Structure 1
Amino acid sequence: MSLRFLSIARVGSTRKQIAVAYGQKGGNQNVAILEKLVQIRHRLARLLGYSNYSDFAIEPRMPMTSRKVLEFLEEMSEQLSDLANRELTVLKELKMKEEGDAQFGMEDLLYYMKRGEQHKVDLDIGEIKRYFPVKLVISGMLKMFQDLFALRFEEIKDVEVWHDTVRLFSVWDASSSDLLGYFFLDIFSREGKYDHTCVVALQNGCMCSNGSRKVPVAVLLSQCPKEFDGNSALLRFPEVVRIFHEFSHVVHHISNRATFSRFSSLRLEGDFAEIPSLLLENWCYESISLKMMSGFYQDITKSVSTEACQSLKRRRDMFAGLKLKQEILLCLVDQIIHTSENVDIDELIKDLHPKVILGIPLLEGTSPASCFPRIAVGYDAVCYSYIWSEVFAADLFATKFKDDLLNQHAGLRFRNKVLAPGGSKGPLEIITDYLGREPSLQPFIQSRTRNAL
């Protein structure tokens, strides 16, 4: 909640108080716990023959070494510096106009980013929501995936399911009419239901000993609102993107043609698993595809306007340089503490902060390490992964799809070359083979700069 206040607090001294309180919320106790966790991880890695924990954690992933990750993060930071500096200049000018003070601190970042967005993006989020009735979003999404990947979805009626709002579909290859798998849509909220949007693999695809193929089965879970008094329930735009992202995982699971079950699930190599879904998120920001999933709730023939589509993309990319710089700082801290022993984490952040965040010092009295949960649990030594996946996804989109979003030939080739192998081939081999060259980070930098201030 404190971060929400930081984006709306107009008084600078209030923002600073909130930011300092938030930056102290974990306190020295959390930092001590984190330092102990890091020591134990290094000990584990040495027992297994590695020089540090980061090399142990990254060896089975796409970069393979911590050195490669550090080089990637440093290059990303450098490439983003020009963009981030331009963004920071805009924020400083806004602060000077509003408060008569050009001195800019971390406590000002969220507030003036929001103010900048209000100045530069003509978009009413409440109005946009009225163009995304749940049923229309789902039907448009299903049509788009069928058209792009040469698939055919058939709903199976009168089947026993665990709730009357759950729908079951079979998936067929549109050309060969081969059955590829099944998926359930369990997207409406109800009491006692798991409250996240995600995909669960119910059955992996694989070849059986008799030569037949066991087909994959998945379920998409979400918490969409239900219709009330005959009025169509509406989705906020971030919910549209989230469902589209997760359904991409469903299609990845169904398209997987690996021989063995071990390589057929959604449990792909960590840095690769999100790349197809992050690639396909781009369709949520392009006019031709977004119009397929939208329609005014009182007249669905009126899709969201081209101008609104452009504003949504511009909003996504607003202050991308500064946002990514903050993420890169976290990733660098994660890598350094997991490659070197006995690091004073607070001092490390204090030293790195102005170097990465364009000269802005760490807010005095705060200890960001006390509130970095991803480093402590779940993403230890692999916080870089999401940015890494975004970079690869941007390259795939710019190279293969940007100029023809609904090109079925490109989609079918992506399905066969990238989605079908699953874990049976190395991710870098899959992507390099599909692109016909080594991946590049330039398309990602260019995509974030294109809609810049």
Structure 2
Amino acid sequence: MQNPLLHPQQLPPFSQIKVDQIEPAIDALIEENRHLVNALTETEQDHDWDSFVQRLEDTSDKLSYAWSIASHLNGVMNSDELRQAYNACLPKLSAYWTEMGQHKGLFSGYEALAKSEHFASLDKAQQKVLQNTLRDFKLSGIALPEAEQQRYAEIQQRLSELTNTFSENVLDATQGWYFHTEDPSDLQGLPDDAIEAAANAAKTRELDGWVITLDFPSYYAVMTYANNSAVREQLYRAYSTRASDQGPDAGRWDNGPIMNEILALRQELAKLLGFTTYADLSLATKMAENGDQVIGFLNDLAEKSRPVAEQDLADLTAFAKELDGTEQLMPWDVSYYADKLKQSRYQVSQQQLRPYFPLPKVLNGLFGIVERLFGIRIEEQADADTWHEDVRFFRLSRDGETLAYCYLDPFARSNKRGGAWMADCRDRRRLADGQIQLPVAYLVCNFTPPVSNKPALLTHDEVTTLFHEFGHGLHHMLTRVDYPEVSGINGVAWDAVELPSQFLENWCWEPEGLALMSGHYETNEPLPNELLENMLAAKHFQAGMMMVRQLEFSLFDFKLHQCFEAGVTDVQQVLDEVRKQVAVMTPPKENRFQHSFGHIFSGGYAAGYYSYKWAEVLSADAFSRFEEDGVFSPTAGEAFRSNILEKGGSAEPMELFVAFRGREPKVDALLRHNGIVKAA
């Protein structure tokens, strides 16, 4: 049987993939790529797009495809065997990618093509590929002396190992602790489905009673609904000290030394490439022009938001004292009393909304909204080969033409990384024979699975998460760019990549959109008008506190990467100083949020977490056109699809935004949508 990891034109036959196939497949593809690169560059010759770039794309796409499958399975079906195979491939891939980034013959070939007469005959997307590639060669150390190139390679390999270990530690720490009780009073206040899930978790461990884990749905239910403050505190302290030197598993999976080494290596890498800080290196591929602009942007939002956040906290503190006589509000009390205050003020809570958001109804509504906005039809393909029985597979089409496919893995389970994300399985690209390889996306969430005979019931927050990730998916799947380096989300400036995801969230707050995605799971009755009105009225509830929390993360990330100096900078001190500036509630000293901050230590957001707020300016202003034209305006929908979703990274984000909106973005809509300033 041929190795199923080697055929990107086919959909992955997951049932046929064996863990012991991964490393040999990666080895074979690396050697195939090396052989082609050497053949194309060993003699000086004039190249055109087809004889050079197309051939390189053909072979590198196979490697990208195989590694996307291995990486995906490592995240959603983690096991000791898979982890071992994945880790065995990391140093080989790091060495290969560094080698290609510093390959002088390859660089010369791209540079010659960019300077040739042939360049003028290329379309705009092809020219962007060449421009980006030459930029990336420089950022890969192509101009460095040999000794420094070698050090660059060593740093990249070590970083790939460290960031993966960071992620593994967070997963192990999350899975490694749980709260077991046989006392039903510990669960008072929890909704029935959370209690049933806790009973099931105990049974899987062959225990009596109930088990609460640190998987987010389980943790969130306790922090929001459990009446027992001591239980909430115990969960909070375990969750906020994961993978650190504090808490119940102190030192067992400690990411502290790993963070320091990651930061030191990033700073060394930046200086090797001629940048003062890693933050400066990060901005070389982003919309923001410099660090001062980023810090100024975040400080301005903080200045406008903190007074609102302070009032939010004062309201919450007064309510807790009035309700229970609570004199001092603690971090593990915030979600609990916020839910109670929200119910008191607006007669609405996430738990009240759950019965009206069964996952099947939400999906139908999501697909209906996408069809009305962009003319896209989404249909489930029942016979797909997947990695788990909960996974579903869908086909996207327009006017009968198949555009893309996507997998949806919706539920939390053991050995699955927490959070929600979209990842690419396969990129859209034009093949050598002229056919089009269609894009395929992975959409992953961690919702509470169905219990008893009920479908999975989502909170409104989870509905918004699903829309967010599907927005990323649309960016990947609806692209009409035929060159993988700039198709879909590829080549998009990181601080613009959240535009489609945050944009799609808006329909979760529009009555016309909510009517499509909601209906009681037993009767299909629509969301009652009173509950709908209360939910919409509560949209900006605690908005100030939520805003400063995100600004805390963004400023911490950026300032840390601006100032870090090995052996001098204390990571905790940087975070503490940022909290003094923007936070309205100081967590306990043992809180080690940063030790599980995967976005910046094992994801792609290092010195780029600010991108969420930066892109939110774009998304809020983009949606304001629909507020003006109508939330299902076909003209506005067509314009967003054709100017943003279809173009991918083939042009600069500001150019695409102006083409859609008719002007550059303004921050006003962001402040209004977040409730920081009142609508006029």
TM-score (norm: length of structure 2): 0.57
Q: Which moved more, 1:321-330 or 1:189-198?
A: 189-198
Tell me: CA distance 1:451–1:294, structure 2 relative to 1, closer, same or farther (3 Å): farther
Show the counterpart of 1:139: 364
Show the counterpart of 2:197: none
Q: CA RMSD in A?
A: 3.9
Quote the Cα distance in structure 2 between the aligned partners of 1:136 and 1:97. 39
Whether 2:309 is the aligned partner of 1:309: answer no
* 1:233 aligned to which of 444, 449, 455: 455
Deviation (angstroms), 1:99: 6.1
Alignment of 1:285-434 (within 5 A): 285-300=509-524, 302-340=525-563, 341=565, 342-358=568-584, 363-364=588-589, 369-370=594-595, 372-378=597-603, 379-401=605-627, 404-434=630-660
Tell me: CA distance 1:104–1:293, structure 2 relative to 1, closer, same or farther (3 Å): closer
- SS class of match (2:526): coil
Quote the Cα distance in structure 2 between the aligned partners of 1:439 and 1:357. 28
Show the counterpart of 1:273: 497
Residue segments in structure 1 that go unaligned for 5+ positions in a row: none
Percentage of pairs with the same residue: 25
Q: Which moved more, 1:258-267 or 1:200-209?
A: 200-209
Tell me: CA distance 1:60–1:155, structure 2 relative to 1, closer, same or farther (3 Å): same
- SS class of match (1:182): strand
Quote the Cα distance in structure 2 between the aligned partners of 1:47 and 1:138. 48
Alignment of 1:187-226 (within 5 A): 198-209=421-432, 212-218=435-441, 220=443
Q: Which moved more, 1:262-271 or 1:388-397?
A: 262-271
Deviation (angstroms), 1:183: 1.9
- SS class of match (2:675): helix
Deviation (angstroms), 1:160: 6.2
- SS class of match (2:397): strand
| Structure 2 counterpart of 1:256, one-letter code | T
**Contact 1:183-1:220 within 8 A present in 2 as well:** no
Deviation (angstroms), 1:56: 0.9
Greater relative CO (CA pairs within 8 A, separation 6+): 1
- SS class of match (2:395): strand
* 2:506 aligned to which of 282, 292, 297: 282
Tell me: CA distance 1:210–1:401, structure 2 relative to 1, closer, same or farther (3 Å): farther
- SS class of match (2:405): strand
- For residues 275-306 of structure 1, give each alpha carbon's deviation from its aligned partner in whole angstroms, at most 9, with x where no partner exists: 11211111112111111122233333x22123
Tell me: CA distance 1:12–1:204, structure 2 relative to 1, closer, same or farther (3 Å): closer
Deviation (angstroms), 1:48: 1.1
- How many residues are aligned here? 444
**Contact 1:130-1:296 within 8 A present in 2 as well:** yes
Quote the Cα distance in structure 2 between the aligned partners of 1:155 and 1:232. 21
Whether 2:304 is the aligned partner of 1:79: answer yes
Q: Which moved more, 1:305-314 or 1:87-96?
A: 305-314
TM-score (norm: length of structure 1): 0.82
Whether 2:669 is the aligned partner of 1:443: answer yes
**Contact 1:354-1:362 within 8 A present in 2 as well:** no
**Contact 2:427-2:440 within 8 A present in 1 as well:** yes
Show the counterpart of 2:477: 254
* 2:467 aligned to which of 244, 248, 267: 244
| Structure 2 counterpart of 1:276, one-letter code | P
Quote the Cα distance in structure 1 between the aligned partners of 2:451 and 2:222. 32
- SS class of match (2:642): helix
**Contact 2:373-2:637 within 8 A present in 1 as well:** yes
Quote the Cα distance in structure 2 between the aligned partners of 1:70 and 1:150. 40
Tell me: CA distance 1:254–1:371, structure 2 relative to 1, closer, same or farther (3 Å): closer
Tell me: CA distance 1:60–1:235, structure 2 relative to 1, closer, same or farther (3 Å): same
- For residues 7-47 of structure 1, give each alpha carbon's deviation from its aligned partner in whole angstroms, at most 9, with x where no partner exists: 56879899888867766662386545433332221111101
Q: Which moved more, 1:436-445 or 1:111-120?
A: 111-120
**Contact 1:149-1:411 within 8 A present in 2 as well:** yes
Deviation (angstroms), 1:73: 1.0
Quote the Cα distance in structure 1 between the aligned partners of 2:414 and 2:245. 34
* 1:130 aligned to which of 355, 371, 396: 355
- SS class of match (1:449): coil
**Contact 2:468-2:505 within 8 A present in 1 as well:** yes
Deviation (angstroms), 1:103: 6.0
| Structure 1 counterpart of 2:288, one-letter code | P
Q: Which moved more, 1:366-375 or 1:400-409?
A: 366-375
Quote the Cα distance in structure 2 between the aligned partners of 1:19 and 1:137. 30
Deviation (angstroms), 1:430: 1.4
- SS class of match (1:299): coil
Q: Which moved more, 1:275-284 or 1:243-252?
A: 243-252
- For residues 223-266 of structure 1, give each alpha carbon's deviation from its aligned partner in whole angstroms, at most 9, with x where no partner exists: 7789899x662431344333333333333233211131221144
Tell me: CA distance 1:193–1:373, structure 2 relative to 1, closer, same or farther (3 Å): closer
Deviation (angstroms), 1:344: 3.0
Alignment of 1:30-49 (within 5 A): 30-49=255-274
Deviation (angstroms), 1:54: 0.9
Deviation (angstroms), 1:74: 0.6
- SS class of match (2:398): strand
Quote the Cα distance in structure 1 between the aligned partners of 2:332 and 2:447. 34
- For residues 294-320 of structure 1, give each alpha carbon's deviation from its aligned partner in whole angstroms, at most 9, with x where no partner exists: 2233333x2212333343344453211
Show the counterpart of 1:150: 375
**Contact 1:154-1:170 within 8 A present in 2 as well:** yes
Larger Rg: 2
Tell me: CA distance 1:253–1:336, structure 2 relative to 1, closer, same or farther (3 Å): closer
- SS class of match (2:348): coil
Tell me: CA distance 1:89–1:212, structure 2 relative to 1, closer, same or farther (3 Å): same
